[in-house]
Amino acid sequence: MTAIQVEGLTKRWGQTLAVDDISFQVKEGEVFGFLGPNGAGQTSTIKTLVGLTRPTGGSARVAGYDVVKEPTMVKRRIGVVPEASNLYDELTVYDNLRFVSRLYHVPPHVRDDRINGLLGTFDLDDYSDRPFGKLSKGLKRRAVLSAALVHEPEIVFLDEPTSGLDVMSARNLRQVISGLSERGVTIFLTTHYIEEAGQLCDRIALIVKGRIIEVDSPESLRGRVQDVPLLTIRIEPVNRLTPEDLEGIPAEKITLSPDGVSMLTRGVHRTLAAFTALADEKGVTIQEVQTVKPGLEDAFVQLTGLTPDAMRGEKEGKS
The answer to whether 100 contacts another protein (rule: CB under 8 A) is: yes
The answer to whether 109 contacts another protein (rule: CB under 8 A) is: no
Q: How far is the CB of 71 from another protein (least distance, A)?
A: 8
Q: Considering the complex, state which of residue 75 and residue 203 has its C-beta at the smaller distance from another protein.
A: 75
CB within 8 A of 309, min separation 6: which ones?
Answer: 255, 257, 258
Q: How far is the CB of 253 from another protein (least distance, A)?
A: 38
Q: How far is the CB of 165 from another protein (least distance, A)?
A: 18
Q: How far is the CB of 86 from another protein (least distance, A)?
A: 4
Which one, of 134, 131, 130, 160, lies nearest residue 145 by Cα? 160
Q: Considering the complex, state which of residue 17 and residue 52 has its C-beta at the smaller distance from another protein.
A: 52
Q: Which stretch binds another protein (CB under 8 A): 29-37, 71-79, 261-269, 305-313?
A: 71-79
The answer to whether 68 contacts another protein (rule: CB under 8 A) is: no
Out of 17, 68, 91, 278, the only residue in the binding site for another protein (CB under 8 A) is 91
The answer to whether 105 contacts another protein (rule: CB under 8 A) is: yes
Q: Considering the complex, state which of residue 86 and residue 242 has its C-beta at the smaller distance from another protein.
A: 86
Query: Which positions lie near another protein, rule CB under 8 A?
Result: 50-54, 72-73, 75-76, 80, 82, 84, 86-91, 95, 99-100, 102-105
